[in-house]
């Protein structure tokens, strides 16, 4: 069975804040976010000028001083139309409806599971919100409740979607063929603010590794599975969807999974926003330079990788 990295302890430190070159250049030039039509994200520190435009609306993590909008926390600058906010790097995940999250089952309760999603409170996955083996659509019965541990048990990892959220609470569902129990990989933990909201949080890298970029900061790195194998011959894999047994993984794939996980951790330490393109570029650089999996985590090699990748950012 392939080993799984345990979740990071609460309050884990990721080192001092560092700006990658493109961000520092924008800060030095006093970038006006009104020109950022692509709504790109930036990293900032407390006291730094975000925008001097009076048309910018101040959001969370900012304050107004004179005619400028100033960051009040270290975090990722995000812009929606004219509203500018700063998502603090060191913060718990705040669930939003529609978010894709990776979580760990922490308790099997009556008709529901409690799931650690890196939030202030555990999320809830109700028995009525999961698919039954075989894809059967029917009302859940008492017999199903007695067999809940056949679906998920304590310690299992899963990918799900936030169905409802409010007051820090979240309800999840796995009523999709893309969701369910996770196997054949390992977990990487990063600050939630660094995970970008993309068209899809599911990605396949050319190195034969699949990524699930959970909006809660939990990233699943696993062996590539073809779409036909995911769905099964009849559209639902009744055998594998709740299986606890990993597939056979060759040494090359194991090395690729570990290498991608280490790349993610190094980029997170330098507060680089994570996307599939950035991760793929970083992985290619590591291969071209012939850096071993373990050496990626070393200071000099990691900093060189970050500088190379961020230098290509717009």
Q: Give the other-Cβ count within 10 Å of 184's Cβ.
A: 20
User: How sure is the predictor about 227, in pLDDT bands with cuts at 50, 70 and 90?
Assistant: low
What is the overall mean pLDDT for the chain?
81
Mean pLDDT of 234-259: 80
> Rounded CA gap, 121 and 108, in Å?
16
Q: What is the band of 89 on the pLDDT scale with cuts at 50, 70, 90?
A: confident
* Among 206, 209, 216, 207, CA closest to 274: 216
Q: What is the mean pLDDT of residues 239-250?
A: 83
Least confident of 3-17, 66-80, 216-230: 3-17
Per-residue pLDDT at 39: 36
Listed residue (186, 211, 222) closest to 280, CA to CA: 211
At residue 181's C-alpha, the angle toward residues 221 and 276, to 5°, is 30
**Is the pLDDT at 266 greater than 70, yes or no?**
yes
Q: Which residues pair with 279 in a beta bridge?
A: none
Tens of pLDDT, residue by residue over 153-205, are: 999 999 999 999 988 789 999 988 889 999 999 999 999 989 988 889 999 99
Residue 161 exposure: Cα atoms within 13 Å on the Cβ side? 15
Domain 21-88 belongs in CATH node 2.40.50.100:
yes
**In which band, very low, low, confident or very high, does the pLDDT at 15 lie, cut at 50, 70 and 90?**
very low
Residue 73 has a pLDDT of 86
Give the pLDDT of residue 203: 94
| More confident call, 31 vs 107 | 107
pLDDT of amino acid 281: 92
**CA 279/CA 312 separation, integer angstroms:** 13
Q: Which helix (H) or strand (E) holds 124?
A: strand 123-126
Say whether pLDDT at 216 is over 50.
yes
Q: Where are the domains of the chain?
A: 21-88
C-alpha pair distances (Å), 209 with each of 188, 224, 299: 14, 5, 25
Rounded average pLDDT over 242-253: 90
pLDDT of residue 20: 39
**C-alpha span between 116 and 126 (Å, rounded):** 14
């Amino acid at each position: 069975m392939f080993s799984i990295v345990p979740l990071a302890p609460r309050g884990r430190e990721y080192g001092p804040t560092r700006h990658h070159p493109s961000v520092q250049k924008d800060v030095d030039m006093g970038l006006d976010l009104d020109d950022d039509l692509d709504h790109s994200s930036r990293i900032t520190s407390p006291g730094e000028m975000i925008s001097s435009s009076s048309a910018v609306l101040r959001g969370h993590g900012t304050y107004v001083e004179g005619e400028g909008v100033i960051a009040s926390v270290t975090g990722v600058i995000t812009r929606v139309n004219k509203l500018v906010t700063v998502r603090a790097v060191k913060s718990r995940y705040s669930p939003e409806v529609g978010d894709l999250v990776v979580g760990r089952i922490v308790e099997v309760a009556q008709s529901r599971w409690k799931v650690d999603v890196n939030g202030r409170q555990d999320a809830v996955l109700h028995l009525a919100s999961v698919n039954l083996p075989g894809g059967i659509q029917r009302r859940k019965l008492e017999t199903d409740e007695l067999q809940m541990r056949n679906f998920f048990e304590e310690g299992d990892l899963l990918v799900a979607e936030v169905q409802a959220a409010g007051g820090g609470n979240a309800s999840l569902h796995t009523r999709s063929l893309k969701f369910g129990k996770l196997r054949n990989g390992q977990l990487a933990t990063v600050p939630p603010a660094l995970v970008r909201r993309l068209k899809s949080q599911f990605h396949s890298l050319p190195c034969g590794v699949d990524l699930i970029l959970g909006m809660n900061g939990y990233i699943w790195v696993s062996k590539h599975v073809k779409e036909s194998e995911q769905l099964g011959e009849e559209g639902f894999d009744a055998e594998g969807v709740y299986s606890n047994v990993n597939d056979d993984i060759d040494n090359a794939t194991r090395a690729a999974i570990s290498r991608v996980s280490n790349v993610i951790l190094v980029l997170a330490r330098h507060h680089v926003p994570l996307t599939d393109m950035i991760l793929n570029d970083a992985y290619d650089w590591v291969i071209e330079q012939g850096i071993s999996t373990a050496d990626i985590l070393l200071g000099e090699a990691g900093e060189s990788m970050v500088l190379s990748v961020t230098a290509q950012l717009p």
